[in-house]
Amino acid sequence: MEKKKILYISQEIAPFLPKTEISNTARKLPQVIQENGKEIRVFMPRFGVINERRHQLHEVIRLSGLNICIDDKDHPLIIKVASVSAARMQVYFIDNDEFFRRKHTLIDDQGNDFADNDERSMFFCRGVLETVKKLGWQPDVIHCHGYMTGIMGLYIKEMYGKDPHFKETKVVYSLYNDGFNKNWDNRFSEKLKFEGFSDEVCNDFKETTFENFTTKALKYFDGINVSSEELSAELQEAFEGSACHKLGFVEEEHLAKELSSFYDKIIEESAMV
């Protein structure tokens, strides 16, 4: 039987960025799922704080060179890769000088969210999908970590799902106690409109608070799991109100088995439809 393919995308992964709840999970989970018999690929942004020399990043020329248009402006896509030898896995990095060369991740040195985080999220998610296509690798499941990946379900369901490469792909989102403090750009829905999304979809995202973004984005996922032991009341309500497959918080020692079964359930149910 052919191995199921799981694509992991995260806004942060250790050891390339400091240890956090998200970066630790996004580092350990692909390894244990791979050891559990599935095939994996892993992607994250190449933020400017990542030390390329220390982590031995190098550009993958054959995958770079594409331009991605966001809000009527072209942005060159650069792909880099590094290995996590202890886990026997590679991590691909989505890079672009304008979006990811600043010496911070999602907030500046004053603790303020960057004003273009909506566009950085769009570029990252689209960059992942375009790169996976170039690799000729068709994921059965895309598992997303961190709010920067929150629109991946929207892209798969409303845009890339029409592409034969992703027509069977399911999308899972992990809920953490993270979020943005400053509303995303109030033109976010207009930018989605430029991408080709319908008025109905764009209207969902006219309110750019984190609460509205999360609630509306969850509608486009096939599965949601809770990755923080205690969620905020708002996120817990969004989780409970979702109509998709749900998996509550699982202790780390049981995570590989539970999530692997969760993926299988979503994939197999889809095949039966």
pLDDT digits (tens, 9 = 90+) for 134-166: 999 999 999 999 999 999 999 999 999 889 999
Residue-wise pLDDT tens digits, 5-28: 999 999 999 999 999 999 999 999
Q: Over pLDDT 90: what percentage of the chain?
A: 93
Please say if the pLDDT value at position 232 is more than 80.
yes
Residue 53: CATH number of its domain: 3.40.50.2000
CB 68 within 8 A of CB 79: no
Q: Which of 100, 82, 101, 84 is nearest to 92 (CA)?
A: 82
270 band by pLDDT with thresholds 50, 70 and 90: low
Residue-wise pLDDT tens digits, 162-189: 899 999 999 999 999 999 999 999 999 9
271 band by pLDDT with thresholds 50, 70 and 90: low
Give the residue numbers spanning the domain of 62: 5-272
Q: Could you give the number of structural domains in the chain? A: 1
**Confidence (pLDDT) at 86:** 84
Please say if the pLDDT value at position 273 is more than 60.
no
**Confidence (pLDDT) at 2:** 86
**Confidence (pLDDT) at 125:** 98
Q: Which residues of 73-102 are buried (b: 16+ CB within 10 A; e: fewer)?
A: eebebbbbbbebeebebebbbbbbeebbee
**Confidence (pLDDT) at 269:** 79
